Amino acid sequence: MKVYQPKVLAFAGSLRKDSYNKKLALVAAKAAEDAGAAVTYIDLADYPMPIFDEDDEAENGMPETARAFKQLLIEHDGFVIACPEYNGSVTAVLKNAIDWASRREGDEDALLAFSGKTVSLMAASPGGLGGLRGLVHARVIMSNLGCLVLPEQKAVSQAYEAFNEDGSLVKKLEQLAIQNQGSKLTEMLIKLNS
């Protein structure tokens, strides 16, 4: 009998090369992999997309970068999403990528890239709340798209001093919390698909 291995896609809602949230996503991704998932990590900077415009979509169709991102979402069972907070909400790049991926093409099922997927959310921010306000919005967006969003979430504050050179978190409890989110995601996916 073939053993189910969940497929997890990990990414951050940031384009910055030295993004704190990219580091956070990698910590959770490694833990998800250690727990038994097949993990794919991507950088949204490798998938540049124009701002979603329905007129542009009608004239030119979905951009290839948006289609490639959407296909990755479709192919994976769950997502690790590290969400920077911009002005109390999610980043424009994250929301735009989600908006493109939510678009229906041909006769495919509505919200094919999101419906029934399981999501682990986390954030890192230089501020004192660690991106907590943005996580509230990310949770609502992903839930509205039909995702199961795990209740556990972690917001890492003072992110400019939260990481070691190797990308791990300085504070052991924060490192364990992010690792726990990755492993919990894998465990939940296995339970849901066993």
Residues in the chain, overall count? 194
Query: Facing residues of 166 across strands?
Result: none
147: pLDDT strictly greater than 70: yes
Distances (CA, A) of 187 to 18, 42, 52, 145, 151: 30, 22, 35, 22, 14
Question: Which two tokens mark 148?
Answer: 């199961």
Q: pTM of the full predicted structure?
A: 0.96
Q: Are 155 and 123 in contact (CB under 8 A)?
A: yes
The domain covering 7-192 belongs, at the CATH homologous superfamily level, to: Flavodoxin domain (3.40.50.360)
For the chain, what is the mean pLDDT?
96
> Residue 167 pLDDT more than 80?
yes
pLDDT band of 1, cuts 50, 70, 90: low
pLDDT tens-digit map of 64-108: 999 999 999 999 999 999 999 999 999 999 999 999 999 999 999
So what's the pLDDT on residue 175?
A: 98
Residue 193: CB atoms within 10 Å: 11
